[in-house]
Structure 1
């Protein structure tokens, strides 16, 4: 300040202005340098065009994303980047928004120099001068290919089955619901098919999960050939599939497709050098006759499938109102079954098993019967599957085991006769905790000699030859209890598991015995089974024996035991004591009868 006062006469105003201009210029240069650095370093592509939309500047990110160099695109209209996915109306609407609001933002598909079409998120802003006239446009965009890819992957994982590539339940319900909306509007039919494979678990357990997975993939491929492009084939779960048939005019079309599916799936499958055969059961429900709701239709189709499975194999069944009544009956039956033991409605009947050499009763099979207070006798084929499905089989099975063992122990003590008892054990019981400790406790509580108790095991349980199952079988043998394989020949019979398990008896299914006199195939099969069992030192029990011809045939083949109506039907405790125990020692076979 002092200097200025002393030399105020020497002050030059132009020098101050020059100093101010220099500072301003430096500031502008710095701002330009910052802007240029941002422009060049930005990860987003930046394109600047003049008012006529011709490119006069791009940044390096533009070249990285599009593949075009700066020299290749200067002076060109950006429309040469167009992918062709958007029509003229799309671009017209874009320019309307841009002119009215000054900016447009959205997703757009463009084309790289390589020809690849890719998605980008684009923002276009118009630039005006001090008079409000447009003199440039700035476009900034980002390649969102990875985001779209990740979204698509997530969507596929949510809506498609990983193994088969078919829609899953989520997408199934969505497509079924949409098909119902269209059908309602157009007055058309929609059919829902519920498909279950027969013998899949057997194949999966015997040949391995890799072969099982390959089978499911090939089944999916065959199902796709049975329907139209507009139909939906989905994998419901495990070995169950569903099909939505839309835009139908009459139910006859559905039956043709169902028959075609059965035909396709019953053809052999070649899986890693193995030839495999499967069957199928199909349940069918139709909109609007059966229901107008996706969830109810799915339930209906499931019910119809189980009805087909009971009739099968290789059949399809339509859902009917009668089946709807059956589900209510089933629910009531399940409720009553839960209380059947405490109400003392259950009873065990005993069917004698006869030794062909002595003609005497060797043991008896324990068979559960239910006398319902209002329904009367409920057939086992109705309530046993119900018990297995609901988990009641664990409680019922333990009750049968204890009651049969106790009754046999009483007979043993009272008569001193070595008549044993055979009790059925299903896969469901073992899975629900039937332990060797439970069986040991039954033997100890009832004081039954272990050798008088036999457990009849289904083939499906043997095929699940896990370490735990094999250990369970050996522990049963350590208790002294006998083991029998039930209904041999009806499943995926194999010598391999007969050698792995410590079995005592092999039981031939009644269906083979029934046709053994008159059908050469069945007769040959019975011969082969008995010869094989004798070779493995297993004793054979033939069930379903009803005629003298069958009896003579089995004796000639050296079958040791028989069971069937030729001798006795299953009988109550009182009838067993009167007809068997009281007459024990008197052979049931007349002398010379078995010589034919």
Structure 2
């Protein structure tokens, strides 16, 4: 069983007085990387608000829950000894009073949905967890649960007050008013005088309806006094719900009361007594708590709970009126970059600004909801056709076009929108929600800043994506990945000067799978970070093995994704891999695209300088296809420019392409950087590059990517004469 870290235990020992105020969180997670991410996120909260106990197995969790109570449980549903809803049921049975939040993959919806139905309080998508959002989310859900408990307690208090007023008249010391048999006022106590605005002397003998003026708080119509019923029916009666007392000066207060008949010694009814009290504050508090339980704490928009209720109502109304309902799922594009570069305070202000613009784009009868993180949902009730939803989507995209001034920064953000329509895309809240979510992912895949309607074939692709994601997780555990190496050739001498490591996936059923078929999915679900770490370690290990064999090894280039570069442990991970494999840093080259670098140029520059200080070589991959600032790139510590193969492909047949390639080669020389032309596949392309004095080429003209064993034969041959003889 995994326990608290040494550092956390020491914190507890040093400051025992803090333990009582900290929330105990039991983390049940078998993936060390996910567990560390969550532990680090909660450990970084101010004041150490959370004490995390981590276990990796369901059995350990059940044993821990059997010892004493736990306040919050973060439960992964894919444990070695417990899977899916069965794992949740066992934990819920062991800790029925704990606040359980299910941890799930970004596309795993079924198991979390069942868990919510059976008592889970919420679920968290692992791909969206970060050190700012997770503690806030935990504090929010714990506060929200407390709010709901308080709301129920307030409702019980209101009920109990009403019951006491009905059956124990003499024990109530609030406002007391009595009448005779004709309904004229005979008595008021001091509280009644204050609440009605009538002194006892002024009120005596006046009709009850004049002194005790009450109205229905909803209809604003005069309400019937319970005293008349008490007299007529000779029994205790209560005031109607949502009753408002109008004081003599017009001031209104919400009240609850009861009235009972007054008898003489012979049992004859002689009048009535009304006992009432002010419940304005209690009703306001109940209303506030109800609002907090159904609205997002940051933007004030309806939350997922309220959206589900309204969507269910909208579906019912649309069914009765033969209308349609549209659900728009919206996700901010690259919002994480803003949080990472400018801070979460700016990110929160941006979310509030976006929320305001979204509300301005819809009707008062529609609902804009914040789903969580940077996701919003718009519910369009009773529309005539899907075109109405398209019109709103266009309006939303246009509204986000204008820059937003946040904290002195001019921010440009876009949205990816997925749309589902009732009844074509689903007849339940669950199916409509899933359809819109699926369509939103396709909007992102189609370049972002657009909207996509759900189509049935998207489900097939979504299932395929989920299958690939699950298989990728297995591939990491079962070591199914391998690297191929493509040589980089000096075009003047024909010598091999380097190699690019290219990942392949050897699936036991599907055979060899190329990166284009799985890397995009790995990036979406966050698996690209552990996969990239494996690629880096394997490339360094292999290069070190060639050196140890006495071969004349060459530097190995490894592609780095944006998620890897932005990952907190990336720099430390590179240094550790170099140390553990023993590979000299000069034999490692990292390739990054222009877009990765320029998304957050300042942060990228700091990371690149740190890598250069380690001795690692750096290359700009796919040069010319991004949106970089050349003046900024000039200051970055790159060794190599790689001309994208889309330009190389046309150099022999397209004058513009040839001009671009010649310009990049000249630029590289002026910047004292090595230039590599990618995708060299023909004699004509090679001849042009040689005439332009391009230093290095890479492509099928020289060699396809080769397994490590085949590539080693090239190293044995002396790294030479790979350039066709007629061009040497």
TM-score range, shorter chain: 0.7 to 0.9
Output one character per residue of 1:385-434: Cα deviation in whole Å (capped at 9) or x when no partner: 43355564455334322322233234445575452112234465578886
* Contiguous gaps of at least 5 residues in structure 2: 1-168
Partner in structure 2 of residue 103 of structure 1: 237
Q: Which residue, out of 158, 178, 188, partners 1:48?
A: 178
Partner in structure 1 of residue 310 of structure 2: 175
Output one character per residue of 1:100-130: Cα deviation in whole Å (capped at 9) or x when no partner: 2333245412234564433112222232334
Partner in structure 1 of residue 378 of structure 2: 243
Give the conservation status (yes or no) of the 8 Å contact 1:545–1:551. no
Aligned length: 548
Partners of 1:513 and 1:269 in 2: CA distance: 40
Give the conservation status (yes or no) of the 8 Å contact 1:515–1:523. no
Q: Which residue, out of 319, 322, 329, partners 2:464?
A: 329
Shift of residue 479 of structure 1?
A: 4.9
Alignment of 1:378-417 (within 5 A): 378-388=513-523, 392-393=527-528, 395-412=530-547, 416-417=551-552
In structure 2, relative to structure 1, the CA distance for the partners of 1:346 and 1:226 (3 Å cut) is: same
Partner in structure 2 of residue 61 of structure 1: 191
**For 2:308, what is the secondary structure of its paired residue?**
helix
In structure 2, relative to structure 1, the CA distance for the partners of 1:128 and 1:346 (3 Å cut) is: same
Partner in structure 1 of residue 23 of structure 2: none
Partners of 1:283 and 1:162 in 2: CA distance: 24
Partner in structure 1 of residue 224 of structure 2: 91
Partners of 1:339 and 1:192 in 2: CA distance: 35
Q: Which has the larger radius of gyration?
A: 1
Q: Which has the higher contact order (CA 8 A, sep 6+)?
A: 1
Shift of residue 79 of structure 1?
A: 5.0
In structure 2, relative to structure 1, the CA distance for the partners of 1:472 and 1:316 (3 Å cut) is: closer
Alignment of 1:193-272 (within 5 A): 193-272=328-407
Give the conservation status (yes or no) of the 8 Å contact 2:298–2:348. yes
Partner in structure 2 of residue 9 of structure 1: none
Shift of residue 176 of structure 1?
A: 1.4
In structure 2, relative to structure 1, the CA distance for the partners of 1:342 and 1:261 (3 Å cut) is: closer
Shift of residue 523 of structure 1?
A: 6.8
Q: Which moved more, 1:176-185 or 1:340-349?
A: 340-349
Partners of 2:655 and 2:406 in 1: CA distance: 36
Q: Which moved more, 1:175-184 or 1:60-69?
A: 60-69
Partner in structure 2 of residue 78 of structure 1: 211
Q: Which residue, out of 297, 301, 305, partners 1:166?
A: 301
Partners of 1:227 and 1:439 in 2: CA distance: 49
Give the conservation status (yes or no) of the 8 Å contact 1:541–1:560. yes
Give the conservation status (yes or no) of the 8 Å contact 1:103–1:126. no
Partners of 1:199 and 1:263 in 2: CA distance: 18
Partner in structure 1 of residue 454 of structure 2: 319
**For 2:298, what is the secondary structure of its paired residue?**
coil
Partners of 1:271 and 1:491 in 2: CA distance: 26
- 1:188 and 2:318 matched: no
Partner in structure 2 of residue 16 of structure 1: none
Shift of residue 440 of structure 1?
A: 5.3
Give the conservation status (yes or no) of the 8 Å contact 2:177–2:275. yes
Partners of 1:476 and 1:59 in 2: CA distance: 82
Shift of residue 322 of structure 1?
A: 1.9
- 1:300 and 2:435 matched: yes
Alignment of 1:3-22 (within 5 A): none
**For 1:91, what is the secondary structure of its paired residue?**
coil
Give the conservation status (yes or no) of the 8 Å contact 2:314–2:381. yes
In structure 2, relative to structure 1, the CA distance for the partners of 1:288 and 1:484 (3 Å cut) is: same
Compute the TM-score of the two structures, normalised by the length of structure 2.
Answer: 0.62
- 1:144 and 2:144 matched: no
Partners of 1:551 and 1:233 in 2: CA distance: 60
Partners of 2:610 and 2:291 in 1: CA distance: 48
Shift of residue 592 of structure 1?
A: 12
Partners of 1:308 and 1:477 in 2: CA distance: 38
Shift of residue 166 of structure 1?
A: 0.8
RMSD: 4.9
In structure 2, relative to structure 1, the CA distance for the partners of 1:139 and 1:275 (3 Å cut) is: same
Partners of 1:492 and 1:119 in 2: CA distance: 63
Alignment of 1:569-580 (within 5 A): 570-573=705-708, 576=711
Give the conservation status (yes or no) of the 8 Å contact 1:54–1:78. no
Q: Which moved more, 1:57-66 or 1:584-593?
A: 584-593
**For 2:467, what is the secondary structure of its paired residue?**
helix
In structure 2, relative to structure 1, the CA distance for the partners of 1:338 and 1:163 (3 Å cut) is: closer
In structure 2, relative to structure 1, the CA distance for the partners of 1:146 and 1:277 (3 Å cut) is: same
Q: Which moved more, 1:203-212 or 1:142-151?
A: 203-212
Shift of residue 159 of structure 1?
A: 0.7
Partner in structure 1 of residue 8 of structure 2: none
Partner in structure 2 of residue 452 of structure 1: 587
* Contiguous gaps of at least 5 residues in structure 1: 1-38
Partners of 2:227 and 2:564 in 1: CA distance: 68
